Amino acid sequence: MTTTERLAVELAARMPAGWADVISAVDRARFVPARVWVYDENNEPQPLDRDVDPRRWWRVVYSDTAIMTQFDDGATVWPDTTGEHPTSSASQPSLMLDMLAALDVREGHRVLEIGTGTGYHAALLATRLGDDAVTSIEIDATVAQQARANLAATGHTPTVVTGDGAAGYPGGAPYDRVVATASVRPGELPYPWVTQVRPGGVIVTPWGPDYHNGVLARLVVAGDGTASGRLSGNLAFMRLRAQQDTLCPLDDGETGDAWETTTSLWVYEVVGEFSGALAVGLLVPRCHKIVEDDPDDAYHHLVRVHDPVTGSWATVDVHRGAAAYPVRQHGPRRLWDEIEHAHAWWVTHDRPTYTRLGVTVTDTEQWTWLDHPDQRVATTWTGNSDQ
């Protein structure tokens, strides 16, 4: 059994119909640089060099592991581990398969991929559909150049364009499918993706608010220029570059005078509960959260939320067994109050799971809905069909 076949076996439980032979045929190692970063058990990036530790490098490449290939648009140079934003990667194969399952490509389909990365995903699509059926766009010229080289070296010749994926690639439209390997915020799905897909075609993209890990959105394009569909999955991808945000301050971020109150809310439901946290993220936009564990007390946690745009912040000091927890808030937004209101909405609607949510996109607005597009949860006015 070859190493690529072993990877296919490891992924068998998540393998969509028609993809097992493709996974076995395309060697992931041919697309992964010798020097990369891999996250450790504490979610910290660690450098990995094929020439220094070949056994571990090969084990990682042929496992269900995400591999970081660039931080901070290339400004952070390997083996530096202080990078803030991962900006290119070889995606975790199982999540990639979930996206391919949602994409549901068929013979004769033409696909636009947003975010070429290493070129591995484009190679899979080209193997399944043919080189002429696949167009991939990559915003980073260096990454795009390396992807072209990787693809050529493995006998694949899809069209690889250097450009901003948010604009799509009208030169190859209309497409049957658009798949993004970078996530978008609620209300910020680029409308050109909709206009470049034929009616009945599908858009698949990681999607989610700053507050939440993220989900998968699968939208079907209608003849009237709208796209709509439900949410599924649990996956985290890096943002489109135009949507990257300033990270929350980790040190001395909560300075200045603060309003001091208490909360009796079961904090887990707005922090750790997947669907509850997603509801909060939808209703409290531009809000990032950090949960800090106390190394000396497993039942003590500090929840920190920030809006990097306004500088607003809030903290909640959570001790298990306490009747109420201290809350401090500062800035023009009272973020914890907003979070409690969002939680109240979720409870009032019987704590709906995230799979009951969907998204609709038009040329003038985008909204999230519960059960049906007419039952809106949150609306964002875009006002510009080019954005």
Confidence of residue 165 (pLDDT cuts 50, 70, 90): very high
Determine what percent of the chain is predicted with pLDDT higher than 70.
95
Own/partner pairs for 120-123, CB < 8 Å, 24+ apart? 120/26, 120/28, 120/31, 120/32, 120/90, 120/150, 121/91, 121/96, 121/181, 122/147, 122/151, 122/156, 122/158, 122/160, 123/26, 123/31, 123/150, 123/151, 123/154, 123/156, 123/158
Q: Which two tokens stand for residue 135?
A: 């167009």
Q: Using only the alpha carbons of the chain, give its radius of gyration.
A: 22
Q: State the average pLDDT over residues 231-251.
A: 79
Which of 378, 383, 281 lies closest to 338, judged by CA? 281
At 113 the pLDDT is: 98
- Secondary structure percentages of the chain, helix, strand, coil, to 5: 30, 30, 40
Q: Which two tokens stand for residue 364?
A: 């003038």
| Secondary structure of residue 275 in the 3-state scheme | helix
The answer to whether residue 252 scores a pLDDT higher than 60 is no
Residue with tokens 């990369």: 36
Q: What residue segments make up the domains of the chain, in order of their start? A: 3-181, 259-348
Q: Quote the CA–CA distance of 300 and 292 in Å, as a whole number.
A: 9
The answer to whether residue 387 scores a pLDDT higher than 70 is no
Phi–psi pair at 186, nearest 5 degrees: -55, 130
At 254 the pLDDT is: 66
Confidence of residue 193 (pLDDT cuts 50, 70, 90): very high
What pTM, to 2 d.p., does this model score? Answer: 0.94
DSSP H helices in 26-104: 54-61, 93-103
**Length of the chain in residues, anyone?**
387
Q: State the average pLDDT over residues 11-27.
A: 93
Q: Quote the CA–CA distance of 339 and 304 in Å, as a whole number.
A: 12
- What sign for the dihedral angle of Cα 216, 220, 221, 226? negative
The answer to whether residue 383 scores a pLDDT higher than 60 is no
**Fold classification of 259-348 (topology level):** Double Stranded RNA Binding Domain (3.30.160)
Q: State the average pLDDT over residues 92-115.
A: 97
At 357 the pLDDT is: 98
Active site residues: 91
The answer to whether residue 83 scores a pLDDT higher than 60 is yes
The answer to whether residue 384 scores a pLDDT higher than 50 is no
Residue with tokens 């909204």: 367
Q: Quote the CA–CA distance of 249 and 306 in Å, as a whole number.
A: 8
* 67 CB burial (10 A radius; 0-12, 13-18, 19+): buried
At 286 the pLDDT is: 92
Q: Which residue has the higher pLDDT, 253 or 45?
A: 45
| Secondary structure of residue 248 in the 3-state scheme | coil
Q: Which two tokens stand for residue 371?
A: 């059960």
* 386 CB burial (10 A radius; 0-12, 13-18, 19+): exposed
Q: Quote the CA–CA distance of 304 and 313 in Å, as a whole number.
A: 7
The answer to whether residue 245 scores a pLDDT higher than 60 is yes
Question: pLDDT per residue over 322-335, tens digit each?
Answer: 999 999 999 999 99
* 264 CB burial (10 A radius; 0-12, 13-18, 19+): exposed
- Report CA 226 to chain centroid distance, whole Å: 22
One fold for 3-181 and 259-348: no
Other residues' Cβ atoms within 10 Å of the Cβ of residue 270? 26
At 28 the pLDDT is: 97
The answer to whether residue 358 scores a pLDDT higher than 70 is yes
The answer to whether residue 250 scores a pLDDT higher than 90 is no
Q: State the average pLDDT over residues 340-354.
A: 97
Least confident of 5-14, 252-261, 268-277, 300-309: 252-261
At 386 the pLDDT is: 45
Q: What mean pLDDT is reported for the chain?
A: 93
Q: State the average pLDDT over residues 284-310.
A: 93
Q: Quote the CA–CA distance of 313 and 306 in Å, as a whole number.
A: 4
Q: State the average pLDDT over residues 250-270.
A: 82
The answer to whether residue 218 scores a pLDDT higher than 80 is yes
Residue environment code for 202-213, b if the CB has 16+ CB neighbours within 10 A, otherwise e: bbbbbbbbbbbb
* 7 CB burial (10 A radius; 0-12, 13-18, 19+): buried
CATH of domain 3-181: 3.40.50.150
At 381 the pLDDT is: 62
